[in-house]
Amino acid sequence: MAWAAERFAGRLVASTSFGAHSAVMLDLVARVAPETPIVFIDTGYLFPETYRFAEQLTRRLGLDVRVYAPRITAARQEALYGQRWEHGDEGVAAYLADNKVEPMQRALTELGAEAWMAGLRSDQTAHRAGLKHVGEQDGRVKIHPILSWSLQQILDYLEARDLPHHPLYAQGYRSIGDVHSTLPTTDDMDPRDGRILGKTRECGLHLPLTAEENESLGSSGL
């Protein structure tokens, strides 16, 4: 992270979901790279607890959080298309494209980002297990400072720094996204089993764009 802050000064962003253990990555940014803008994608379907948690951590850590939302509101989406996450793989893909991928790409473009830091860990999904600490995604440098951290290291850091979990963590929500696609899990389950949006267990933000997505974003001026 220190290397990234120096190498890409003024052209570096971080992203956060304000999820179960997001306080770790956010605390590191506040300590090591405090000038870094932090992108928070507000899909319009987050838990009330997530919005409150975001405000709490932003104030406590003095973060420079930039909130990006879909171009079309949740209410308008449902009026026009229904609840697309219930409409099979095609509906899920359309939902993710409008509510997560497009706002993130817009943020990266508007903030002039050449490099992007994210708090992914290799033990979270099969896709993340194949990532490197420094790689490339859609023409930008992608940096994963805590990629090799274990869950125990995460928990130890939270305790040592007296940082909070997401408030829903105590209720069994160990991987937290949108209200309509997040379920609590038990200790004998994979935390990502609580994320029921799409087969890959990925939200779409950390996957390379398809050719169709690149063409769509390009035609919209992004």
Rounded to whole angstroms, the Cα distance separating 144 from 101 reads: 18
Enzyme catalytic residues: 203
Cα 164–chain centre separation = 18
CB 86 within 8 A of CB 196: no
Residues of the chain with pLDDT > 90: what percent? 69
- CA Rg value for the chain: 17
pLDDT value for 218: 43
pLDDT at 62 over 90: yes
CB 44 within 8 A of CB 74: yes
CB 99 within 8 A of CB 181: no
pLDDT at 202 over 50: no
Q: Which residues have C-beta within 8 Å of that of residue 87, sequence separation ≥ 6?
A: none
- Local structure of 12: helix, strand or coil: strand
pLDDT confidence bin for 205, thresholds 50/70/90: low
CB 197 within 8 A of CB 100: no
- Local structure of 66: helix, strand or coil: strand
pLDDT value for 188: 74
What the chain holds in terms of domains, given with CATH numbers, is: 2-219 (3.40.50.620)
